[in-house]
């Protein structure tokens, strides 16, 4: 399909004035012609060529500020497949044993770590030592101690550490945050986050404590934690939590099936959240203030985020989350742009501290205070 730029180039200047009004009205496009991006492009290597790595790679085809240029995998056949599919040169292909050599490759700026949770810590530190910016999938690490060590390594190497919080750039999510900042909801009193589905293959790494670091909390529970923080707009000061396990064969020791947790905020607002690997159709955020409310369902999925407030349906554009995420991360890395909601390592560490507290609350049955 021709772009509007192509169309305008083909018509004469005299016809432009006659046609532009009707074209804009029909296509609902702005009068200003979109300018091609001419800035620096972030050249990215993806580490971990599984399902989500593939999703990111496909989304990056539409990026204007970021480009997939390299791969890191422990599976040679996958490397060959990706080389062909994404036109990746041999010199930009590495395995888990030799990827430290990326330090000698000036054609790669950043490495996106999309591997099992337990590998993030060591791999991000190696990326930092190689002098490359690190983008890491969430959760950033298995616990706050590991997360702090990753932050320290990146700071020491003078490289950025970013976390794959794609929803921090999602237009309808950002509209709810804008409305909250504008006072449209009044005093926020309550947040509810429900994240859950019935997980399949019992042999997958997400149900292996050594690789995942836990169960549902380390996969989808973090969405409710993060969502509570960016929707309420505060950092919690306490947490309580309770675990339910109905299938100890599938969900072995240390792999949580379902956790309910509650958060308290300095303003007096409270959050009630649920994370489950054994309950379907849970993907909903709800926030209530004394002047209005916001409801998002789906709230975290890859498909279009949908939502409404007391003012009606949210109608912001539907985007491919990973495309806008990678373009925005390019501006964060090269231009030091400050997004509305941070995606840096410090943000990832805050979530890890809360996860640590949730697991402690489950173990002790007590309210756990959170440090700033």
Residue 220 falls inside a structural domain: yes
Pairwise CA distance, residues 171 & 165, whole Å: 13
Residue that finishes a domain, picked among 165, 196, 216: 165
Q: What is the pTM of this model?
A: 0.90
Cβ contact 271:191 at 8 Å: yes
User: Can you tell me whether residue 260 is helix, strand or coil?
Assistant: strand
Q: What separation in angstroms does the CA of 122 have from each of 96, 142, 340, 352?
A: 11, 11, 29, 16
Residue 113's domain spans which residues? 42-165
Specify the DSSP class assigned to residue 218.
I
Total tally of structural domains belonging to the chain: 2
Residue 131 falls inside a structural domain: yes
User: Can you tell me whether residue 284 is helix, strand or coil?
Assistant: strand
Same domain, 200 and 58: no
Pairwise CA distance, residues 330 & 41, whole Å: 7
Same domain, 141 and 225: no
Cβ-Cβ contacts under 8 Å for 193 (sequence gap 6 or more): 223, 224, 225, 227, 228, 271, 272, 273, 274, 284, 285, 299
Same domain, 157 and 142: yes
Residue that finishes a domain, picked among 140, 165, 190: 165
pLDDT per residue over 341-353, tens digit each? 999 999 999 999 9
Same domain, 184 and 304: yes
Label each residue of 87-110 as H, E or C. Answer: CCCHHHEECCCCHHHHHHCCCCCE
Pairwise CA distance, residues 5 & 206, whole Å: 46
Active site includes 245?
A: no
Exposure string for 177-205, b = 16+ CB within 10 A, e = fewer: bebbeeebbeebbebbbbbbbebeeeeee
Same domain, 80 and 136: yes
In this prediction, residue 247 carries a pLDDT of 97
Same domain, 178 and 100: no
pLDDT per residue over 107-143, tens digit each? 999 999 999 999 999 999 999 999 999 999 999 999 9
* Confidence band of 34 (pLDDT split at 50, 70, 90): low
Same domain, 260 and 133: no
pLDDT per residue over 278-326, tens digit each? 999 999 999 999 999 999 999 999 989 999 999 999 999 999 999 999 9
Same domain, 158 and 176: no
Task: Single out the catalytic residue among 65, 132, 138, 353.
Answer: 138
Residue 17 falls inside a structural domain: no
Same domain, 150 and 199: no
Residue 9 falls inside a structural domain: no
Residue 151 falls inside a structural domain: yes
Same domain, 231 and 218: yes
Tokens 């790669």, located at residue: 108
26 or 250, higher pLDDT = 250
* Confidence band of 205 (pLDDT split at 50, 70, 90): very high
Task: Single out the catalytic residue among 223, 230, 277, 359.
Answer: 223
Active site includes 369?
A: no
């Amino acid at each position: 399909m021709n772009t509007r730029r192509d169309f305008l180039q083909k018509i004469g200047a005299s016809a432009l004035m006659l046609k532009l009004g009707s074209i804009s009205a029909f296509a609902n496009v702005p009068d200003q012609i979109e300018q091609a991006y001419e800035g620096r492009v972030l050249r990215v290597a993806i580490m971990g060529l599984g399902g989500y790595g593939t999703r990111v790679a496909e989304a990056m085809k539409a990026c204007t500020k970021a480009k997939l240029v390299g791969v890191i995998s422990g599976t040679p056949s996958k490397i060959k497949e990706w080389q062909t599919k994404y036109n990746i040169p041999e010199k930009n292909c590495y395995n888990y044993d030799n990827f430290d050599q990326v330090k000698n490759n000036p054609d790669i700026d950043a490495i996106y770590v999309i591997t099992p949770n337990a590998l993030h810590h060591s791999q991000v530190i190696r990326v930092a030592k190689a002098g490359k910016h690190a983008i890491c999938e969430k959760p950033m690490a298995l616990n706050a101690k590991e997360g702090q060590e990753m932050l320290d390594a990146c700071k020491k190497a003078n490289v950025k550490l970013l976390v794959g919080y794609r929803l921090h750039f999602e237009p309808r999510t950002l509209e709810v945050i804008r409305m909250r900042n504008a006072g449209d909801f009044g005093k926020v009193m309550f947040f509810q986050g429900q994240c859950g589905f019935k997980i399949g293959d019992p042999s997958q790494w997400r149900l292996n404590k050594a690789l995942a670091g836990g169960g549902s909390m380390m996969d989808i529970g973090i969405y409710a934690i993060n969502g509570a923080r960016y929707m309420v707009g505060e950092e919690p000061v306490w947490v309580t939590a309770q675990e339910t396990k109905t299938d100890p064969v599938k969900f072995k020791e240390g792999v949580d099936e379902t956790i309910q947790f509650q958060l308290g905020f300095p303003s007096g607002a409270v959050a009630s959240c649920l994370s489950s690997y054994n309950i379907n159709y849970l993907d909903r955020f709800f926030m209530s203030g004394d002047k209005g409310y916001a409801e998002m369902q789906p709230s975290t999925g890859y498909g279009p985020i949908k939502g409404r407030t007391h003012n009606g349906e949210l109608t912001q554009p539907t985007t491919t989350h990973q495309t806008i995420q990678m373009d925005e991360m390019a501006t964060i890395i090269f231009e030091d742009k400050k997004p509305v909601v941070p995606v840096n390592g410090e943000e990832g560490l805050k979530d890890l501290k809360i996860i640590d507290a949730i697991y402690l609350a489950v173990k002790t049955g007590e309210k756990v205070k959170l440090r700033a």
